[in-house]
A and B are shown apart, each in its own frame.
Chain A
């Protein structure tokens, strides 16, 4: 019979008092568990969603945080767009030697919202070259990735698929954004679901991804007043769009009078559109030359919302000077925009160059999110954790009182053990073990109640912050409870244990 078992028998012997004591401890622990798990999941969802790439290149308007929230969390509309051309420069152009992966995203005003879910136009590389949550590859629950080229493919996040009840092979209409103040909505293009992602625990679960090239074609063929509006606005930007583009754009508008909204893209067949002349009577009468010219203009005028960039980590030796030729900018960035949590030299250098050369904003998603999280959510968590810990401590004091009170009736029991040859240290340990076992039981009860609490709170959290907290999601930080409770129990059990230690055998023993 181990001392643990002896302690456990004492607990059983006083089952009601022990149960109540453990339960009160459990309530305290439940609060700690609920706070740890809920905030842990929020923290992971936020911070880790921002992992997987080093930089977000977005429109110069708005703050870095806005850019990240828009491009990573799809939570707000990006205030502006950047030329698709920038992506070309980064992906295959002059910056490409410093880039591991670049992924263009078109989100926001020009794209549609499908039953409240954000539609994001991107390339198939999004799912093959990016990793999520610390280097996990995207996998498909059903179907497959978007295919390259001008296609009208769509990939749904796991939750998005559930919410829309769309399955692989289903088609959906991507309605134009409701912000557009026009009666002339384009006939919605139909996208076909080709794949559904496995759950990732990131905002991508609730997103609908469509093929960027297909999206561009759709926009090209169905310029609405909204698109006009955006194109006009963007041509005023200090971007790549020159004045002549603007003229050409107007020409095209004249060339293509308001026929667009009557054209049904889906009847054009979704995967085969290469140019704009098939099945389009109004375009068909135009000369092919003109058509080609406008086609090029369209491509030049293409705009996207943001670019996700994974920087190539090159050999540091020798190379550094070449990239780092803009010391001033680099320094400024490292101390200003990206101060504090320092980015590595390569990322910093590239960010510096992009800001200097292009009309963009460059943000480090992990940094922005960490800062946001620590600023708001982190502080709330600290306060809640402190309160919960106080509750646990109060429960611990309750436990001390309970055990201490029981010591009077237990003097006899302790004296018997001593008479049987137990050392002072041994009876002291039995009491300490009892305290530890009681609080660990309380911990167990607390974990169960805590997770049940999460099950109850889950739907509320889900609707409030769009983060699904699984009640069976165990947070590593919960393990802290074990040493924490053992330490608390040792402190709490110390006083009664000393009473046990000091018990006078001869006086406490009934003859």
Chain B
């Protein structure tokens, strides 16, 4: 088992002091190399869940274990290091660093993981996503589809075990959408990386063997009702 979530609870502390429960997941698992689509209504907590898996947010209670590591008991710095080494993140808005070239955007994550970067692998990855000729271009000079491909390459740079993709095609036009999804799925498969992909697009979701509805995993919603 690559990812195992147990008795996970997350509530946000509101400014008026009240606590707003968002997630309550008794059990959820993802196998190594598996590709899962996570769907759910807007505001149901998909991004929150990915943040928790990535260790960007801490759960209010419960356990998340990845590759045998219980990330909820790690310190923040340890989680940062863990994220750098084992988790790739692809964002809806790409979140490329504007001051850096495509190549540097891929290399910068390596720096944070190992203190040094493997230029050769970074080039290889960019070639794999079809950007071998745009290595030294800054994000502003790349098309939207190209930018998302850079961010996919960046997510895979450190040979992670798990890639989290939060609506990776929401900002990409339909023509590019399929290209990005294919590339993401293929590279994850090639590198034997598990993929959790959040999407609102049914045509994307239906391509996956496993489609999980957050509403079914997350018991907060049923409790609220």
Contact = CB atoms under 8 A, between A and B. Distances in A.
A343 interface: no
Contacts of B104: 1, 9
A286 interface: no
Nearest to B104: A1
A17 to B, nearest CB: 12
A463 interface: no
A166 interface: no
A424 B112 CA distance: 11
B95 A510 contact: yes
Interface string A413-431: 1001111111111100000
Chain A binding surface, main DSSP class = helix
A417 B84 CA distance: 10
B2 to A, nearest CB: 18
B166 to A, nearest CB: 5
B83 to A, nearest CB: 5
Interface string B92-114: 11011111100010011111110
Contacts of A413: 97-99
A1 B107 contact: yes
Contact of A6 (B47, B76, B98, B111): B111
Contacts of B111: 1-3, 6
Contact of A509 (B80, B91, B108): B91
Interface in B27-70: 47, 51, 54, 56-57
Contacts of A419: 54, 56, 83, 89, 91, 95
A511 B56 contact: no
Contacts of B123: none
Most chain-A Cβ atoms within 10 A of its Cβ — which of B81, B100, B154? B100
Given A1-B111, A509-B56, A421 B91 contact: no
Interface in B90-142: 91-93, 95-100, 104, 107-113, 116-117
Contact of B108 (A1, A12, A14): A1
A423 B100 contact: no
A421 B89 CA distance: 10
B161 interface: no
B149 interface: no
Contacts of B56: 418-419, 505-506, 509
A13 interface: yes
A10 interface: yes
A420 B98 contact: no
Interface residues of B, number: 37
A202 B80 CA distance: 63
Given A6-B111, A509-B56, A416 B84 contact: no
A421 B97 contact: no
B97 A416 contact: yes
Which has the most chain B C-beta neighbours within 10 Å: A3, A416, A417, A505?
Answer: A416
Given A509-B56, A510-B95, A511-B93, A420 B100 contact: no
Contact of A9 (B80, B93, B100): B100
A409 to B, nearest CB: 10
Contacts of B99: 9-10, 12-14, 413
Contacts of B167: 511
A142 B81 CA distance: 70
B109 A424 contact: no
B11 to A, nearest CB: 14
A509 B83 CA distance: 15
A425 B57 contact: no
Nearest to A10: B99
Contact of B95 (A6, A416, A422, A506): A416
A88 B158 CA distance: 87
Nearest to B91: A511
Contact of A510 (B51, B77, B93, B117): B93
Nearest to A3: B111
B73 to A, nearest CB: 18
A140 B98 CA distance: 62
Given A416-B97, A420-B154, A423-B76, 4 more contacts: A420-B84, A422-B84, A424-B80, A511-B91
21 contacts: A1-B104, A9-B99, A13-B99, A417-B108, A418-B80, A419-B54, A419-B89, A419-B91, A419-B95, A420-B83, A420-B109, A420-B112, A420-B154, A421-B158, A423-B80, A505-B56, A506-B56, A509-B91, A510-B93, A511-B47, A511-B167
